[in-house]
Amino acid sequence: MKRYIAIVLALVFLVSTTSSCLYNNYMAGVSDIGQASPSTTLRESIDQDHDPDTDMLNATGQKSVTQEYAEQKSVAQNSAAPESIAPNPTTHDENQTPSNKTISQAISKAPSVLASVNEGKRLSIVCTTFPQYDWVRQILGNRVSNTDLVLLLNNGVDLHSFQPSVNDIVKISNCDLFIYVGGKSDSWVQNALRQATNPDMVVISLMNVQGDAAQKEKYVEGMEENDYHDDQNEGNEDEYDEHVWLSLRNAVVFCVAITDALSSLDPGNATEYGLNMISYLEGLYTLDAMYGEAVDSAPVKTLLFGDRFPFRYLADDYGLSYYAAFSGCSAETEASFRTVVFLSGKVNELGLKNVLVTESANQSIARTIISNTTAKNQQILVMNSMQSVSVDDVQNGATYLSIMEYNYNVLKEALS
C-alpha cells in the first residue's frame, strides 16, 4: 500500500502549482512511511548552539517554521563570531579544519553563483556522502551535466573521521543546495554554514527529514563499550544512529525531499525531476520487496558481525536480529576476549555459517571469532555500508541501487 501511495504522491508532484503543496500533501498523507521535514534555507538552518538531536525535535513540529526562522535569524544576527577552529600551526594539511579567518579569506575570493542561478544557469549542489550524491544524480537525470554536483567525501575517508578543508568549505559557502547526514559526525557543518555567502542556500539534513523515525544508537548483548559515544556525548547522553541511508524505505523519503528542494530551486524543470523520481522510486520499491521476500524465506533470521554494525535501520526494516563486536558509530578496532568468546558462542549456538564485516574492516576480528568456534569453517562475508565510496568507485559505475543490490545478495547468503 505504501508503494502506491508514494507513486500517487509523486504524480501529484507533477501537477502541484508549487513544491510546498507536495510537502503539505506528503506530510498529511504518508506519515506511515516516515516523517519528513521540509528543506530549509540557510538562515533557518543556522543555530548557535547546534545539536543534531535538538534539530530532529524541531523538525517534528514542536515549533512552527515561522517561530524557528525568527529565533534562528535572531541568533545568526546577534551572536558573536563563532570560535575559531584552528589547524595545527606546525602543519599545513589540506584536510585539517581551517580557521574562520582562513575560510573568510578563501570565500571572499570565490565567485558567488547566486546571480547565475537567478538567470537560469547552473545549479551548484554539494553532498557530503555518496548516497545523497547518487540520489541527486538520479533525480537530476539528463540535467546532471548542467549542474555543478560535488561529492565532498570523495576519497574513501570515513564519515566519522572527516574534517573539511578550506576548499571544501568554499564549495559549501557558494552552493544552492547543501545535503548532509546531520548526525554527530557532522558537528563541523554549522560552523561551515556560518561562513556561507549565499543566504538563499537550501539545506537538507537527512536526520531532520527522518524526524521521529530516527533511532537511538542501540547496544545489544556482547558489544564492546563505544568510545565514540563517550567522546562525542558529554554525560553519556543517548546518541542517534546516523546510518539512515542504509534503509531503502528511508531512501524513498529522502528522494521526495530532494526532489522538492530541486524543484523549488529550478521550477522550470520540476516536471522532469518528478518523472525521474517516479522512475527511481520504482527501483527502490522493487529492491525493498526482494529484501523482504529473501528474509521471509530464509532459515536464519540473525546476522553476526565481527565488526561495527551500521545496518541497524536495514535490520529493523525486515525484522532481523543481530550481534556485533561494536555499535555502528564505534571507533574501536580491537575486540576484547570477552566479546570474541561471546560472539563465537553465538555462532555455535545458532549454527551460523557466516560471519560478516563491513567494507572497511581488516577482518582480523572475524577471523578470530571463527577460529574460536567449534566448526572453524565459517565464511567471512562483506556488506557495503557506503561510508567509504570514492570518486573512482563512482567513475566505475557504483550507484546506491547497485550497492544495495550487492548487499541483498550477501544478505541472502548470510541467512542461508
Q: Is the dihedral of CA 151, 157, 161, 162 positive or negative?
A: negative
Q: What pLDDT shows up at residue 67?
A: 37
- Please, are residues 312 and 383 in contact by the beta-carbon 8 Å criterion? no
More confident position, 392 or 52:
392
Of the listed ranges 43-47, 70-74, 88-92, 132-136, the one predicted with least confidence: 88-92
Amino acid type, 362: N
Cell 574534517 belongs to residue: 163
- Please, are residues 108 and 173 in contact by the beta-carbon 8 Å criterion? no
Q: What pLDDT shows up at residue 160?
A: 62
Q: What pLDDT shows up at residue 230?
A: 47
Banded pLDDT at 46 (limits 50, 70, 90): low
**Position 364 pLDDT exceeds 50:** yes
Q: What pLDDT shows up at residue 267?
A: 95
Q: What pLDDT shows up at residue 151?
A: 94
Q: Mean pLDDT throughout 262-283?
A: 97
10 Å Cβ neighbour count for 89? 6
Q: What pLDDT shows up at residue 23?
A: 37
pTM of the model: 0.74
Of the listed ranges 101-105, 176-180, 265-269, the one predicted with least confidence: 101-105
Which residue from 141, 261, 264 is spatially nearest to 204, judged by alpha carbons?
261
CA atoms within 13 A on the CB side of 121: 11
**Position 181 pLDDT exceeds 60:** yes
Q: What pLDDT shows up at residue 21?
A: 41
More confident position, 161 or 407:
407
Which residue from 287, 290, 245, 281 is spatially nearest to 138, judged by alpha carbons?
281
**Position 20 pLDDT exceeds 50:** no
Which residue from 318, 320, 311, 323 is spatially nearest to 355, judged by alpha carbons?
323
Secondary structure element (H or E) that encloses residue 368, with its range: helix 364-371
**All 3 cell numbers of residue 339?**
566479546
Beta bridge partners of 379: 354
CATH code matching the domain that covers 35-270, chosen among 3.40.720.10, 3.40.140.10, 3.40.50.1980, 3.40.50.11720: 3.40.50.1980
Q: What is the pLDDT of residues 96-106, one digit of tens each?
A: 444 444 434 44
298-414 placed in CATH 3.40.50.720: no
Pairing assessment for the beta strands 147-151 and 123-127 based on DSSP bridges: parallel
Banded pLDDT at 45 (limits 50, 70, 90): low
- Please, are residues 387 and 310 in contact by the beta-carbon 8 Å criterion? yes
CA–CA distance, 247 with 400 (Å, rounded to integer): 11
Banded pLDDT at 156 (limits 50, 70, 90): low
Of the listed ranges 171-175, 217-221, 300-304, 330-334, the one predicted with least confidence: 330-334
Q: What is the pLDDT of residues 274-306, one digit of tens each?
A: 999 999 999 999 999 999 999 999 999 999 999
**All 3 cell numbers of residue 369?**
571469532
Q: What pLDDT shows up at residue 91?
A: 32
Residue 325 three-state SS: strand
Banded pLDDT at 3 (limits 50, 70, 90): low
**Position 50 pLDDT exceeds 50:** no
Q: What is the pLDDT of residues 198-236, one digit of tens each?
A: 989 999 999 999 999 999 888 888 888 654 444 444 545
- What are the helix (H) ranges across 30-150? 42-45, 52-57, 65-78, 100-109, 114-118, 130-140
CA–CA distance, 227 with 249 (Å, rounded to integer): 30
**Position 56 pLDDT exceeds 70:** no
- Please, are residues 6 and 33 in contact by the beta-carbon 8 Å criterion? yes
More confident position, 358 or 166:
358
More confident position, 174 or 63:
174
Which residue from 159, 139, 157 is spatially nearest to 149, judged by alpha carbons?
139
Q: What share of the chain is helix, strand, coil (3-state, %, to 5)?
A: 55, 10, 35
**All 3 cell numbers of residue 142?**
539528463
Q: What pLDDT shows up at residue 77?
A: 34
Amino acid type, 379: Q
Of the listed ranges 124-128, 158-162, 206-210, 304-308, the one predicted with least confidence: 158-162
Q: What pLDDT shows up at residue 360?
A: 83
More confident position, 155 or 132:
132
Beta bridge partners of 123: 147
Q: Mean pLDDT throughout 386-408?
A: 94
Residue 221 three-state SS: coil
Residue 154 three-state SS: coil
Q: What is the pLDDT of residues 88-97, one digit of tens each?
A: 323 334 344 4
Which residues have C-beta within 8 Å of that of residue 55, sequence separation ≥ 6?
47, 182, 205, 207, 208
What are the sequence ranges of the domains in the chain?
Answer: 35-270, 298-414
- Cα diameter, the chain: 69
**All 3 cell numbers of residue 23?**
510537502
Mean pLDDT of the chain: 76
Q: What pLDDT shows up at residue 11?
A: 52
